[in-house]
Structure 1
């Protein structure tokens, strides 16, 4: 346990990485004093990034129930994702952190490196049931700083009618060669191939990573031959008219809107579009993003970690641990991840999700192959790498540089 608050290690990288979470404005449901200093010994504070859920929601009721089980009252404050990370840093500086902090997974290593979070060794959280690839997003320097509450990732939605008209059997799409062949058939049949987001922001990097990792590339070697092949794939799709030039400015939302017209065969997007897919008015299916030579590519994970921040009063940790254990228990995860539209972080609950909704099977498969953006112990290095990656994608797809030259420039900039 910690006998005192750690000295915060705030660096330019710390501030930069928090921008990965987004740029939305703050949306707090609580008072200005929301940390432990504002709470009495019988009240525990929880900060989460779900302002869409009010106090009457199933999520808020679960928090209250876990508090009751731990013998305390819960004071919950909801923030937009980017604001939550910044508020957590500020609160830690003032020794006024929340007792439990639920934070976007790329930010965990940043807060950990800044000394904001306790380790699972310190706080006795059991993470043994969590899938190792998901847990890795919350690890830094060989230590684990929380447990995943759920995950989402990217896969390929497809329009069954468009593929049928083009004579494409979705079962034949197993690797890049067969996917590109399918796109060629779709174009020949008078329809559009694939849409995705290649915008010059974190969204662009997020969407490119399955193809980058699917080629066997590593984020520490942006100019490898594998990385070049991934970018060349996208570049060739634009050159051949299999993907629209609009991908250069597409967000994941506008990319989805293109797919929703019914003209495209494929769309790279996430679990968060499932509700919209059901409203689209055409039959659709989902397959994991294929790797270059077959199998499922690693796609980046979205989703949050439940963490326990460092406190001046270490006697609060055992109760915080009880609350977190309750929130992430097998009994509660199924309802929690259904509410949050997440795939559960444990195999046991994933099986229950598939039993309840067979349509989740390809998403569970995609999550099992997924990878955290800050995994491989990248931590606060990731934002700089990501920025150069999306710049390289933009340079190549706009025609200003070849894929090889764009990625060589990116690697030089990172160094």
Structure 2
């Protein structure tokens, strides 16, 4: 693709769509020059969203090692997740894209539709071992753009002590009815029920999705009876006092802090809180989020894709592919995903993770049922749908609208 036509395709719509926000891990802020070209062709640039890892970290050492194996020097720049998409679009407009880009999975289809990324067919990147439900987040128009480096998702943490005092057997919690019954018992015993994040941002949508999908709802119809039942579940929990009003302003971090206080029976949160759960000294367990009538709900996948941006000099792809294959090889994935608190994207490495840490078992189950937010070919439509969804959640939980009216307005706004 010529540099000119690529520039033309980087539309305003793509820029707007990159308000696709951040799910998952909160990263500290990173900075860096946006000059992607290093010194000559022997230097390959990598951009990633992990400013929390510095030069001495295992992650940066791995990047350097993969460069060395491919016979090149790596120049790495870390950005905040929320900056990375915009910086990437800008660099592409300037013909200055990094050679390898590690980016949050909902952003992949936006960058792909803007003509910024190569397909795995272009670069001969092998994705055959990756779980198909995780790979789907990087698919758009029947083509795959990159490969996942790892995944995280949501599940329910539960406090064993609180449940025991309330006489709740966790094995009885199998669907929404039994979960709500458990919350009623907990409240009756003078403890607190469940906390989650329903804030008016992507985080709120991210946390609502397992209930939305668990009801059998589809993102293309926000006002379906299934969608209404999911929002009614949350609204009723607030009305009954099973969930606190603070969920309206809770981020995933503040809702975690509520749970870490020790009074809550349940918290919806992510794989990335595992280290904090140990630190809090809670006697906790993890349960995949139940679907309305039983089984595991699909929770949204968090985590990043390793992608190879379009270059004017296509001869660079061979080396970029070698670096990417090295970063996502079975041996390196195990170490990387341990560092990032991620579930690996392949069964082979997942089995290795469980063998080393049995606590990851429910998370691997949750990831196997998980689904990309942009799957179902939603691509750049997702951010618009998501924004209306979190607005509807806010509107219903605050009592200013019934779940049905809130979701009808949301669907009309998307149209």
Please, what TM-score do these two structures have when normalized by structure 1? 0.96
Q: 2:30 aligned to 27, 44, 69, which one?
A: 27
- What CA distance in whole angstroms lies between the structure 2 residues aligned with 1:157 and 1:191? 16
What's the secondary structure of 1:243's corresponding residue? Answer: coil
Paired with 1:340 and 1:167, the residues of 2 have a C-alpha distance of: 36
The yes-or-no answer on 1:339 pairing with 2:339 is yes
Q: For residue 305 of structure 1, give the secondary structure of its aligned residue in structure 2.
A: strand
User: What residue number does 2:242 align with?
Assistant: 242
* Structure 1 residues 115-142: Cα deviation after superposition (integer angstroms, max 9, x where no partner): 1000000011001111111101111111
Contact persistence 2:103–2:305 (CA under 8 A):
yes
SS at match of 2:18: helix
**2-structure distance, mates of 1:217, 1:33:** 41
**Secondary structure of the residue that 1:19 maps to in structure 2?**
coil
Match of 2:116, SS?
Answer: coil
Distance 2:68 2:308 in 1: 18
User: CA 1:121/1:5 → structure 2, altered by over 3 Å: closer, same or farther?
Assistant: farther
CA distance in 2, matches of 1:19, 1:215: 27
Q: What is the aligned partner in structure 2 of residue 81 from structure 1?
A: 81
RMSD: 1.4
CA distance in 1, matches of 2:13, 2:171: 44
- Give the TM-score taking structure 2 as reference length: 0.96
Q: Partner residue of 1:18?
A: 18
Give the whole-Å Cα distance in 2 for the aligned partners of 1:178 and 1:26.
Answer: 42
Instruction: Tell me which residue corresponds to 2:290.
Output: 290
Following superposition, the deviation at residue 16 of structure 1 comes to 2.8
SS at match of 2:200: coil
User: What's the secondary structure of 1:20's corresponding residue?
Assistant: coil
The Cα of 1:58 is off from its aligned counterpart by: 0.4
Given that 1:97 and 1:310 are in contact with CA atoms closer than 8 Å, whether structure 2 keeps it comes out as: yes
Q: Which runs of 5+ in 1 are unaligned?
A: none
Q: Does 1:369 align with 2:369?
A: yes
Q: How does 1:85-104 map to 2 (within 5 A)?
A: 85-104=85-104
Question: Which position in structure 1 is the counterpart of 2:6?
Answer: 7
CA contact (8 A) 1:16 1:383 kept: no
Deviation at 1:4, TM superposition (A): 5.5
Offset, 1:33: 5.2
C-alpha offsets along residues 160-212 of structure 1, whole Å, 9 cap, x if unaligned?
00000011111111100110010011011110100001111111101000000
Shift of the 54–408 alpha-carbon distance from structure 1 to 2, 3 Å rule, reads: same
Equivalent position SS for 1:223:
coil
Q: Deviations over 1:79-109 (max 9, x none)?
A: 1112111111111111111100001101000
Q: Provide the rounded CA distance (Å) in 1 between the counterparts of 2:317 and 2:293.
A: 48
Aligned to 1:378: 378
